Amino acid sequence: MPRYALKIDYHGRPFAGWQRQSGQPSVQDAVETALRKLEADAPGIAAAGRTDAGVHATGQVAHCDLAKDWDPFRLSEALNWHLKPAPVAILKAARVPDDFHARFSAIERRYLFRLIARRAPLTHEAGLAWRVLTPLDADAMREGAAHLVGHHDFTTFRSTMCQAQSPVKTLDEITITDHDIPHGREYRFFLRARSFLHNQVRSIVGTLERVGAGAWAPGDVRTALEAKDRAACGPVCPPEGLYLTGVRYPEDPFG
C-alpha cells in the first residue's frame, strides 16, 4: 500500500487531544473519518506527537497507508473537503517510503507557547494563548531557562502519567521573545528537542512564569531540576497557549 505523510494544522479547543478516545472527539478520529470517506478500509494513522486536550498544531505530521495511488495534492484537497467543518486542515500531503514513520523517524520536534499579559480578558486570542494579569520579567525567565538547556533528568518537569521509559532528555533550545501588543505584552517560548516528556513544555513554561512574576529566582529553576521530584515543579500552565509547530526528519518528506 502506498504510504503518505500529512502535514496537519488544527485548533485544539474542541478536541480531547490528538489520540483517538472512546466517546470523545479527537484530531486523529477526525482525520481517520475523512480518510475513510475516500477509502472505506483505510487503516489507522500515526502522528509525530500526541498533543493533549486543547493543544494546537501548525505543523503536526502523520502518516497513512492507502490502497489507491493518490496524487498528493488531490489527496490533501479531498481530505480538507471531508474534514469540514472541523478546525483541522491538511497543509500538505506527500508520498513517502514504506519505512517512513511519523513518530519513530522524527529527529526533532518544535513547540511554541504563547503567553499574553494584560488586564482585560482575551477576545480574539481566547483559547489561543495563556493570559496572566501583569507583565513578566523576560530577562529573568531567560536566565532561568538557561538551566534547562542540555542533557538532563527532567523528572521534575514530567507528568506522573508520563509513559516514557526514561526521564532523561536533551533540550536543545529554549528561546523567549517578548513584544508589546495592544493593551498588553506577549511572550513567546520556543522549545526544540528530539522528543519531549508528557507535560514537559507546559511544566517548564509554568515554572518560568513564576520566575517572570518574581515568585521564583532564576536559580530556583536549577534547584527544581536537580531535585528530580515532581513536587518541586512550578504550576503546570494551561494547554491553550501550546502549539506543535514542526517536526524534522532526516529528509524532509514535503520537499
Pick from 76, 67, 74: nearest CA to 42: 67
The separation between CA 57 and the C-alpha centre of its own chain, rounded to angstroms, equals: 6
Round to whole Å and give the CA distance between 38 and 75.
Answer: 9
Q: Which of 41, 52, 178, 252 is catalytic?
A: 52
Three-point CA angle 13, 135, 240, nearest 5° = 10
CB-CB contact of 209 with 116 (8 Å): no
Give Cα separations from 36 to 26, 32, 78, 122, 131 (angstroms): 16, 6, 11, 38, 39
What are 59's three cell numbers? 505543523
Active site residue 52: yes
What are 196's three cell numbers? 519531549
Catalytic machinery residues: 52
